[in-house]
Amino acid sequence: MGRWEPNARGRLARAALVLSAEHGYESTTVAEIAAAAGVTERTFYRHFTDKADALFPDHDVLLERLADVARQAADDGASVLDAALAAIGDLATMAAAEPERAALSARVVPTVPALAGRELVRQRAIADAVSGALTERGVRAREARLAAETALGVWRVAVAEWVDAPDGRTLPEVVAAAAEAVRAL
Amino acid sequence: MGRWEPNARGRLARAALVLSAEHGYESTTVAEIAAAAGVTERTFYRHFTDKADALFPDHDVLLERLADVARQAADDGASVLDAALAAIGDLATMAAAEPERAALSARVVPTVPALAGRELVRQRAIADAVSGALTERGVRAREARLAAETALGVWRVAVAEWVDAPDGRTLPEVVAAAAEAVRAL
């Protein structure tokens, strides 16, 4: 994911999220985001194609990293489900490195249909990356997809639980607890 | 879900899907859909708010039915996961009653970002309905949500498998096989 600060790209992503949380996504303009990040609109468009794009930065890097984690876990002898859950655990670790961003994003995204749709598409891409990595390691397509889908379900349940009931637990802790619960289902 | 034919609502839903499959969703107009269904545009708008709406009919009825199935399975002593899977099995049975519609929908929806997003939102609503039904039966929120998410994962994997490799198996059969595989993960 890279550092959120102090580079222009990171500042723009942060400004897009903070302004959307404060004033609403629809009424926040690219001009306002650029101004808050201390750059020009032109600089904004060098980094992002549109406003929504700024709320979902670093997508490809993320997918590659999660695939790596799943492959590594499979190589280390993890079960198919545990390898997929390892990738989701890593996703939680990355999110926890920027807890303000994770919390704002989890609050803003579900309230805006366009962003909610995009977040779900992002989750599809993560499921594809993780199941693709597992099939590379010889897992059958159906099992790889089911494991990736189940792990993404753990992610959604854990994020919602973490946002709704902030009881001091970190996101990785909540994800680990949800992963344990899904194994027990 | 109701019958797809011969009522106006059903004919409109069918026309929206068939024309989108044949000519592309974006280039299909409401006027063309209405004409193909033998009704006026005004009649179209009595049944649906827009073109996308016509591709996702009978949403609330569906949610209530799936919740009923999950509650009934829980009352019959099914495990949390099996109760959620029973709802998804019922979803497959309903889709299989209109196989042409199911196959066209599975082919058209993923190729149009706006429809793909809407389908994922629909799946969120199904997950909410099923997990809500399970919590009504005393299941803890986390377990109910995880079971619903896992069952929806089974649904996505099974539909993709059914569309990609039509080997004569019915959708309920593929869903049952995927449900078996997720239990074994």
Taking only the tens place, the pLDDT of each residue in B6-37 is: 689 989 999 999 999 899 999 999 999 999 99
Q: Is B149 on the interface with A (CB under 8 A)?
A: yes
Whether B65 and B99 share a structural domain: yes
Q: Indicate if B38 and B88 belong to the same structural domain.
A: no
CB A151 within 8 A of CB A87: yes
pLDDT at A6: 60
| Model pLDDT, residue B5 | 46
C-alpha A183/C-alpha A160 separation (Å) is 19
Last residue of a domain, one of B18, B34, B55: B55
Do residue B85 and residue B41 come from a single domain? Answer: no
Q: Is A2 helix (H, G, I), strand (E, B) or coil?
A: coil
Residue B139 lies in a domain: yes
Q: Given this model, what pLDDT does residue A103 score? A: 84
Q: Is the pLDDT of residue B72 over 90?
A: yes
Nearest by CB to residue A182, choosing from B117, B124, B150, is B150
The reply to whether A111 touches chain B by the CB within 8 Å rule is no
Report residue A45: phi and psi, to 5°: -75, -10
| B143: chain A residues, CB-CB within 8 Å | 181, 185
Of B85, B91, B92, the closest CA to residue B150 belongs to: B85
Do A8 and A37 touch, CB atoms closer than 8 A?
Answer: yes
Q: What is the pLDDT of residue A4?
A: 45
What does the alpha-carbon distance between residue A41 and residue A131 come to, in Å, rounded to a whole number? 38
Cα–Cα distance list, B15 to A24, B21, B22, B40, B115 (Å): 38, 10, 10, 13, 16
A116, A117, A157 member nearest B142 (Cβ): A157
Q: Are B110 and A128 in contact (CB under 8 A)?
A: no
Domain count for chain A: 2
- The answer to whether residue B3 is domain-embedded is no
Question: What pLDDT is recorded for position A134?
Answer: 97
Verify that A114 and A81 share a domain, yes or no: yes
Q: Is-cis flag, bond preceding B6, omega within 30?
A: yes
Pairwise CB contact (< 8 Å): B142 & A178: yes
- Is residue A178 less than 8 Å (CB to CB) from chain B? yes
List C-alpha distances in Å: A12 to A2, A17, A18, B2, B12: 13, 9, 10, 49, 45
Residues in chain A with CB shorter than 8 Å from the CB of B121 are 113, 116-117, 120
> What residues in B contact A181, CB-CB < 8 Å?
142-143, 146
- Of B1, B116, B20, B115, nearest to B9 by C-alpha is B1
Give mean pLDDT, residues B135-160.
95
Is residue B35 located within the same domain as residue B117?
no
Peptide bond into A6 cis (omega under 30): yes
Top mean-pLDDT range of A16-25, A94-103, B54-63: A16-25
- Mean pLDDT (chain A) is 90
Over residues B33-48, the mean pLDDT reads 95
Lowest mean pLDDT among A127-141, A144-158, B39-53, B107-121: B107-121
Q: Establish, for the pair of chains A and B, how many residue pairs have beta carbons separated by less than 8 Å.
A: 86
- Asked whether residue B65 is domain-assigned, the answer is yes
**Residues A30, A50: Cα–Cα separation, whole Å:** 8
Same structural domain, A99 and A158: yes
What average pLDDT does this structure show over B44-58?
89
- Any idea what the CATH number is for the domain that residue A18 is in? 1.10.10.60
Residue range B75-109, pLDDT digits in tens: 999 999 999 999 999 999 999 888 888 888 888 88
pLDDT score, position A168: 84
From B55, B71, B90, the end of a domain falls on B55
The pair of three-digit structure tokens given for residue B101, joined into one six-digit string: 């519609």
Specify whether B49 is located in the same domain as B98.
no
Q: Which domain holds residue B39?
A: 8-55
**A166 domain residue, yes or no:** yes
Question: Does A1 have pLDDT greater than 70?
Answer: no
The span from the first CA to the last CA of chain A, in angstroms, equals 32
Tokens of A61: 């890097």
Do B90 and B41 share a structural domain?
no
Residue A3 falls within a domain, yes or no? no
Looking at residue B6, its pLDDT comes to: 60
Residue B2 has pLDDT above 70, yes or no: no
Could you tell me what percent of chain B has a pLDDT over 70?
Answer: 96
A80 in the same domain as A25? no
Residue A2 lies in a domain: no
Q: What is the pLDDT of residue A3?
A: 41
Confidence class of residue B1 from pLDDT cuts 50, 70 and 90?
Answer: very low
- Residue indicated by tokens 């309905």: B129
Output the average pLDDT for chain B: 90
Asked if residue B87 is part of any domain, the answer here is: yes
Asked if residue B157 lies in contact with residue B178, where contact means CB atoms within 8 angstroms, the answer is: yes
Same domain, A41 and A99: no
Torsion of CA B101, B163, A63, A116, to 10 degrees: 10
User: Does A58 have pLDDT greater than 80?
Assistant: no
Same domain, A95 and A132: yes
Per-residue pLDDT of A64-122, as tens digits, reads 999 999 999 999 999 999 999 999 999 999 998 888 888 888 888 888 877 877 787 78
- Could you tell me if residue A68 is inside a domain? yes
The pLDDT value given to residue B118: 79
Q: Are residues B111 and B152 in the same domain?
A: yes
Which residues lie below 8 Å from residue A121, measured CB to CB, with a gap of 6+?
B113, B116, B117, B120
A24 phi-psi bin (left φ>0, alpha ψ -120 to 50, beta other): left
Contact call for B142 and A161, based on CB within 8 A: yes
Q: How confident is the model at residue B127 (pLDDT cuts 50, 70, 90)?
A: very high
Burial class (CB in 10 A: 0-12, 13-18, 19+), B134: buried
